[in-house]
Amino acid sequence: MKMKWIALSMVFVSLGVFAQETELKIALPRPLFSGTPRELRTPNLEPMRKPGEKRPPIMVPEGVKNLAAKAEVTSSDSEPVVGELELITDGNKNGEEGNYVELSPGKQWVQIDLGKKAKIYAIALWHFHSQARVYRDVVIQTADDPDFITNVKTVFNNDHDNSSGLGVGKDRDYIETYEGRPIPVPGVEGQYVRFYSNGNTSDDMNHYIEIEIYGK
């Protein structure tokens, strides 16, 4: 009987069932608006949280950290309209003017090189938060190479009608706030993480304030 338990425990350990998990703590910037946002005309919008309702926690293995801090950022728009790509990984999440990069209209992406292959457990993303708006066709993919040919995996996709051509996504549209968008990722391996968007409900431009990629 004892031997059976030892054998079973070894299986569990190898499966990571007993791995220590901890709640991911994400530092948030100052809110820039409060109350109910004006009606946003977008299909596929997720239901509003009730007042006071917290987001479900994201559980991650112990020792996970933000691998995107000060990491190199490239983009489909190498000469942003406003700001610099470095703003996306500089650690500043404040929503005021001067803290965001603005990319050209239509479908654009930014890409973060983690420096080496990593296991990713969560992503937090702030597009813009001085006004309630929804960014369209938010798609996040990981890959082993900067051209996104090898081991490409989609970890978030709210392009429900495939208008960006990356496949039909099952995630919902969401309203930008100071909380950004924390996204759980099931230990997906990759070195490069690419973030697509395709304009927003206020204009056709694409904005980023900060991206965090938690892994190890």
Q: Which residues pair with 101 in a beta bridge?
A: 208
- Which CB, 16 or 167, lies closer to Ca ion? 167
- Which CB, 121 or 135, lies closer to Ca ion? 135
Write down the least CB distance from residue 211 to Ca ion, Å: 8
- Which CB, 64 or 87, lies closer to Ca ion? 87
Cα dihedral across residues 82, 85, 87, 93: positive or negative: positive
Write down the least CB distance from residue 15 to Ca ion, Å: 37
Binding site for Ca ion (CB under 5 A): 87, 90, 92, 137, 159, 161, 163, 210
The phi, psi pair for 6, rounded to 5°, reads -60, -45
Write down the least CB distance from residue 83 to Ca ion, Å: 9
- Which CB, 60 or 110, lies closer to Ca ion? 110
**108, 77 Cβ separation under 8 angstroms:** yes
Give Cα separations from 37 to 132, 133, 180, 205 (angstroms). Answer: 6, 8, 15, 20
- Which CB, 145 or 203, lies closer to Ca ion? 203
Residue closest to Ca ion, measured at CB: 163
The H or E element that residue 194 is part of is strand 181-198
Write down the least CB distance from residue 196 to Ca ion, Å: 11
Write down the least CB distance from residue 119 to Ca ion, Å: 24
Q: Quick one: DSSP state of residue 195?
A: E
Alpha-carbon span 145 to 69, nearest angstrom: 20
**122, 24 Cβ separation under 8 angstroms:** yes
Identify the three-state secondary structure at position 105. Answer: coil
**143, 152 Cβ separation under 8 angstroms:** yes
Give which of 182, 181, 209 is closest to 92, Cα–Cα.
209
- Which CB, 87 or 185, lies closer to Ca ion? 87
